[in-house]
Amino acid sequence: MARKRTILFLAAMMALIQSPALHAQDFFIHTVTKGQGLYSISRIYGISEDEIIRLNPGAEKVIKTGQELRIPQKKGQQENSFHTVGQGETLYSLSKKYRVSIKEICDINPGLSSETLKTGMILAIPPVTDHDTAEEAVSAPAQAEPQASAQTGNGSAYKTRIVVMKRVTIYRICNDFDINEEDFLNANPQYRHTRLQAGDTVNIPYTRKEREAMKQSQVDRNRAESQLLRDAANGRKTVSRPNTVNAVMLLPLSLDDSLSADRPKMTEFTRGMLMAVSKLKDEGISVNLKVLDTGTGDQTVSSIIDRGDLDEADVVFGPKYNGQIEQVAKWSTQHEVPLVLPFNSDDRPVYNNPYVYQLNTPQSYFHQEIYDHFVQQFRNPNIIILDDGDMKSNEMLDGLKRMARDMNFPVITIPADTAARSMIMESLDPERHNVFIINNPDEGPLITMLPILQIVNRTKDENIRTSLFGYPEYQIYASKRLDEMSECDTWFYSWFFTNNTLRESVKFGLDFIKSFNRQMMVSYPSYAPYGYDSGYYFLRGIAIYGRDFSRHLTDFRTKSVQMEFKFQRISQWGGYINHKVFFVHFSPEYKVEKIDFDK
């Protein structure tokens, strides 16, 4: 009987190994990063969620950051495939494996070079062309790896690497790449003592003219940014002016429709953008801003593109509607111009366009940031969920409870009703920070629970720490309930926050009245600060760094009014999503604080 079970087990294992769905060439490995869920991962690779679940049973219930997923490989001859970089693999070995040139691989994965290639990275691989490109990729200078910027061991910058072919000499390499022998040896010092051999990988340095131009360009950028910062700090205008930034805004202003719901929001966003342009002018940055009314139809944008209204643009803001976005996204890819999308709710363009910046971020991308900040702020929490009985889905809270289980934080659930006080008092832990979270972001449950939490706060032992943690909607309710929320030591997460008690908000409001002789419209988010923050960030960044702007996203910061930016590329071939989220605190001392955990 035991022998029979062994045979059956081995047969099952052989069937599993031979299953077409699990052959290595039929899938690649994706490592889940912060904020990714089945939906976003399926969008990145252009497949369905069911296809992912089929290879990863249980993924429909939960996936975690760092988890490895099998992703089915596409088979169409005209479609890109994907590859997970293995240990020791190089762009040259990948070009040989897939019979495409190094340049083609780099072109489809912006920013990729031999220096940025890392084990575990997922690359898009273009379809095989009719000609054998692998040899061309290493034998012709025009096919060398582009735009790599790195340092060799002796500190000499090089722009690419090549694999040496048979009968290739140092002399030939220097001649092909227009460099002198001493520069080559500085980049490859081992060849001062050993001979060059076929199969060796060598560094190709920049020419001296290229190095001088790069050095001067960096000096100019540093000087310009330093001057701008000094002048802004001293309140002075600068005489020197960087290159003019040409910006185009494509918005449904609905100038012919006074009843349009979009009109006041888009107009307010434009006013904020104009304030950003004025601020930049004071700092010595010249901006040509062209504002075009797109209406709601696709034909308007098509005409704008055909007329050449975008031809001189360094950056485009908008449009709003999906059909219009599809046209402008295609144009931005062809012209390599940043496309900033502030309003669209469909995030498809960001998955396949490396020049798209998605501002209206799916909340799932904020969740892991929220959990990290939560643990940083509350350290050792006792999480008390106040359940109002509503079965509405709450992805943020579900993820927070999973995080708590993984970190062994206690989680207690109590009915959120007028009789909850005694149960809450019994659940308080004197050794932990007790954090109340209502499972519903609506105002009704908050109104019910605030008086109860106030009584708990007044009657508990003064050494027991309690706080209320909530949602972005809490800033809407705070205008009427700030005292109660402050007494309960209320925190909430948000990617935007406008409050007239904050100095920058007060100043912006006064400047808005001065500029337009009217009060800002009340909305959440507030559209005038939204336009200002977006415009000031992108226009200033492009003025300083030009086409290198995307390479400086991790170290470029601006002072904002309502929202800030922390962009991360969604994939090696896709665009950028804003991951910035902060906590707002209504303290028992009746102070309003915006906590930025990245500073």
Q: Reduce the secondary structure of 170-210 to three states and give it as a string.
A: HHHHHHHHCCCHHHHHHHCHHHHCCCCCCCCEEEEECCHHH
pLDDT value of residue 189: 83
403-442 burial: b if 16+ Cβ within 10 Å, else e:
bbeeeebebbebebbeebbeebeebbeeebbbbbbbbbbe
Mean pLDDT across 389-393: 80
pLDDT value of residue 516: 95
pLDDT value of residue 491: 98
Range with the poorest average pLDDT among 12-21, 299-308, 481-490, 532-541: 12-21
For residues 416 and 449, the answer to whether their CB atoms sit within 8 Å is yes
How does residue 149 score in pLDDT terms, banded at 50, 70 and 90? very low
For residues 126 and 180, the answer to whether their CB atoms sit within 8 Å is no
Range with the poorest average pLDDT among 4-8, 103-107, 368-372: 4-8
pLDDT value of residue 211: 75
Separation between Cα atoms, residue 233 and residue 237, nearest integer Å: 10
pLDDT value of residue 255: 60
Separation between Cα atoms, residue 217 and residue 207, nearest integer Å: 15
For residues 21 and 56, the answer to whether their CB atoms sit within 8 Å is no
pLDDT value of residue 555: 83
Answer whether residue 154 shows pLDDT above 50.
no
How does residue 344 score in pLDDT terms, banded at 50, 70 and 90? confident
Q: Which helix (H) or strand (E) holds 122?
A: strand 122-125
Answer whether residue 141 shows pLDDT above 50.
no
Answer whether residue 419 shows pLDDT above 90.
no
Which is nearest to 57 in space by CA: 16, 86, 85? 16
How does residue 14 score in pLDDT terms, banded at 50, 70 and 90? very low
Range with the poorest average pLDDT among 90-99, 309-318, 435-444: 90-99
Higher pLDDT, 36 or 354: 354
Separation between Cα atoms, residue 95 and residue 101, nearest integer Å: 5
pLDDT value of residue 150: 37
Mean pLDDT across 445-460: 95
Mean pLDDT across 363-369: 82
Q: Name the token pair of 4.
A: 């029979």
How does residue 457 score in pLDDT terms, banded at 50, 70 and 90? very high
Higher pLDDT, 164 or 85: 85
pLDDT value of residue 93: 85
For residues 41 and 30, the answer to whether their CB atoms sit within 8 Å is yes
pLDDT digits (tens, 9 = 90+) for 70-79: 999 876 656 7
Provide the sign of the torsion angle of the four alpha carbons 349, 351, 356, 359, taken in this order: positive
Q: What is the CA 315 to chain-centroid distance, rounded?
A: 18
Going by C-beta distance under 8 Å and a sequence separation of 6 or more, which residues neighbour residue 95? 101, 102, 105, 133, 134, 137, 138
Find the angle CA(106)-CA(107)-CA(111) to the nearest 5 degrees. Answer: 60
pLDDT digits (tens, 9 = 90+) for 104-137: 898 889 888 877 888 889 999 988 865 444 444 4
Q: Name the token pair of 198.
A: 């076929």
CA dist 482 → 102, 444, 494, 506, 589 (Å)? 59, 16, 17, 18, 12
pLDDT value of residue 225: 55
pLDDT value of residue 80: 82
Separation between Cα atoms, residue 27 and residue 72, nearest integer Å: 4
* 3-state secondary structure at position 257: coil
Answer whether residue 11 shows pLDDT above 80.
no
**Tally of residues, the chain:** 599
Residue ranges with strand state E in 233-366: 245-251, 287-293, 315-317, 339-341, 356-358
Share the mean pLDDT of the chain.
83
Q: Name the token pair of 437.
A: 């979270």
For residues 490 and 468, the answer to whether their CB atoms sit within 8 Å is yes
pLDDT digits (tens, 9 = 90+) for 572-599: 999 999 989 999 999 999 999 989 888 7
Which is nearest to 246 in space by CA: 314, 303, 195, 198? 314
pLDDT digits (tens, 9 = 90+) for 164-223: 877 788 888 888 778 888 888 888 888 888 888 887 888 888 887 777 777 766 666 556
How does residue 329 score in pLDDT terms, banded at 50, 70 and 90? very high
How does residue 226 score in pLDDT terms, banded at 50, 70 and 90? low
Answer whether residue 15 shows pLDDT above 70.
no
pLDDT digits (tens, 9 = 90+) for 32-45: 887 788 888 888 88
Answer whether residue 31 shows pLDDT above 70.
yes
pLDDT value of residue 228: 52
Q: Name the token pair of 123.
A: 């690359």
For 453, what's the count of Cα atoms within 13 Å in the CB-facing half-sphere? 30
pTM above 0.85, yes or no: no
For residues 338 and 310, the answer to whether their CB atoms sit within 8 Å is no
pLDDT digits (tens, 9 = 90+) for 473-526: 999 999 889 999 999 999 999 999 877 667 788 899 999 999 999 999 988 889
Provide the sign of the torsion angle of the four alpha carbons 588, 593, 594, 596, taken in this order: negative
Mean pLDDT across 98-109: 88
